[in-house]
Structure 1
Amino acid sequence: MQILDGKALAQNIENAIQQEVQILNKRNVTPGLAVILVGNDPASQSYVNMKAKACKRTGIYSITHEMPENIQQESLLQTIAMLNQNPNIDGILVQLPLPKHINTTAVLEAIAPQKDVDGFHPFNMGRIFANLDGFIPATPLGVITLLKHYNVSLQGKNVVIVGASNIVGKPLSALFLNENATVTLCHIYTQNLAKHTKEADILCVAVGKPNLITKEMIKEGAIVVDIGINKLSDGRIVGDVDFSNVSTQCSFITPVPGGVGPMTIASLLQNTLKAAKLRTKKY
């Protein structure tokens, strides 16, 4: 069994981004990322802080717009409109989830597609499914980058994804399809989940349920990508996979923490750098 070390790879990616940012600086260009944080959710605040620190490490300018939980949708949309027009901002990220009184779809659609570094705008999502260049959601991009780094062949593989969200499961399925894998996408209404997971050459899990995947649910030698992040009552952070037991059965596995999480942030920085490069080509 080999660990898919996302933390180490993310560090290498950050180093490469830092060098590219320095090259852009010589042309008087500094990539800029704006993050919008609504409310006081501790997990969201933690994610935003990690993104800000990563930007600082790589030389990307970042600013966080903190808004109260009860902010009106119109005010949020006005802030996005302002950032769309700001020439110093290359990427706009709205930290999810948003409060229930705000229409998340309307907010995501308000972001200019060329600044949609989260890859959630329907324009960019459509380009993924059409296998065209665009901004790919950070977590799915991180998963594919991590597997390719370890020379995992994707073509012709049976890939099973557990979790069909617009943020991870659906775009990840499109990326695997674009790599000529055969993809099964499972969700809350899937019957006999184990029947599907046992067929997986590559199993990706993004549900948010500790120990959902057990040793008996995977086949010998499978590759397991645990995308889930769960905080237990004792403070431990674990994924959706029973790591200690499943790791004896598989050939590759991601740890939690230290697997997909760091890759998500690194991929976001890659998208921000890409947006900055696209901006410079216009002039």
Structure 2
Amino acid sequence: MTDIIDGDAVAADIRADLQDSIDALADEGVRPGLATVLMSDDPASETYVSMKQRDCEEVGIEGIHVELDPDAPADELFDTVEDLNDDPEVHGILVQMPLVEQVDTRRVLRSVDPEKDVDGFHPENVGRLVAGNPRFKPCTPHGIQKLLESAGVETEGAEAVVVGRSMIVGKPMANLLIQKGPLGNATTTVCHSRTEDLAAHTREADIVIAAAGAPEFIDGSMLKEGATVIDVGVNRVDADTDKGYELVGDVDFESAEGVAGAITPVPGGVGPMTRAMLLYNTVKAAGEQEGIAVDLP
């Protein structure tokens, strides 16, 4: 039997556990504040931001949303980020990606105050992660660690394969897995679009983390019996449904189920954890900026 790792349930537990920290901050007159900035007319981005703001409201975090005209000059975005950097009631800043063509994404990542960079993408925070002293762990990789922990998966000494090398998931995930300490100490291989014979790597893995953004390209024949499979992909494919499409992961769930020892579904696996860890980082940022010790789950 393959265990289904329920990301919705684990994320709900984390949000509930964060409540004690949020209450402790409230006792000191502090309400964590998360600012989201949207400069895009991409419907998916609009949905993501709306969900993040709703999450904030549910747990008692102050959500501040700034929406900019996608046709506005880039300086309007940078001025907005600077204002949020200077606002003491804003503890975390998230600039929703992808950005419009006229904006330099790397410059945006550098412009966010590293102490408010709750995505963990500022070069300073990336460096701290690699050095083994993270200020903020990027939300999706951190959420995956929490899923592995909830499923009782032992990473120490395990063979792990990360498929994908993005700065959002693949690279930080590999760095977390090789770190000394809990949920680390794995022997980690990073595969990508130029990897020859991907299956030769995934079949040897105790843990497979699929984050390449290609629908159902990993199937059961590419997995080791009993492996733990974390599917990060969210891909829209045509389907005979009311919406005309369905969401699938990077893993062919049907063929992987029964081979894997444990697997995350899509949706309901990694996605809820990414949002939960954004709340986690915002609460952590508020505590550190206000000089208030908080116990985090």
Q: Same fold (TM over 0.5)?
A: yes
Deviation beyond 6 Å, 4+ runs, structure 1: none
Q: Can you list the C-alpha shifts for 1:119-168, whole angstroms capped at 9, x where unaligned?
A: 00011111111110311110000001110122211011111011100010
Distance between the aligned counterparts of 1:101 and 1:157, measured in 2?
44
**Residue 101 (structure 1) shift:** 2.2
Give the residue type in structure 2 aligned to 1:102. Answer: V
Deviations along 1:187-209, whole A, 9 cap, x unmatched?
11111111111111100011221
Aligned partner of 2:281 in structure 1 is 271
CA distance in 1, matches of 2:125, 2:146: 18
2:91: which partner in 1? 90
Show the 5 A alignment for 1:30-179: 30-178=31-179, 179=184
Pick from 204, 211, 219 the counterpart of residue 216 of structure 2.
Answer: 211
The equivalent residue for 2:186 is: 181
The structural deviation recorded for 1:282 is 7.5
Contact 2:91 2:116 in 1 (8 A): yes
Deviation at 1:71, TM superposition (A): 2.3
SS state of the match for residue 233, structure 2?
coil
How far apart in 1 are the matches of 2:32 and 2:136? 15
- Code of the residue aligned with 2:277 in structure 1: it is S
Equivalent residue letter for 1:202: I
5+ long unaligned stretches in structure 2: 240-244
Spell out, residue by residue over 1:62-110, the C-alpha distance to the aligned partner (whole angstroms, 9 max, x if none): 1111112222221111110000000000000011111122110000100
Q: TM-score, normalised by structure 2?
A: 0.93
Aligned pair 1:16/2:14, yes or no?
Answer: no
Amino acid at match of 1:257: P
Q: Which runs of 5+ in 1 are unaligned?
A: none
Quote the Cα distance in structure 1 between the aligned partners of 2:5 and 2:258.
14
Give the conservation status (yes or no) of the 8 Å contact 2:25–2:292.
no
Match of 1:254 in 2: 264
**Percent identical residues:** 45
Match of 2:203 among 198, 201, 205: 198
Tell me the equivalent position of 2:29: 28
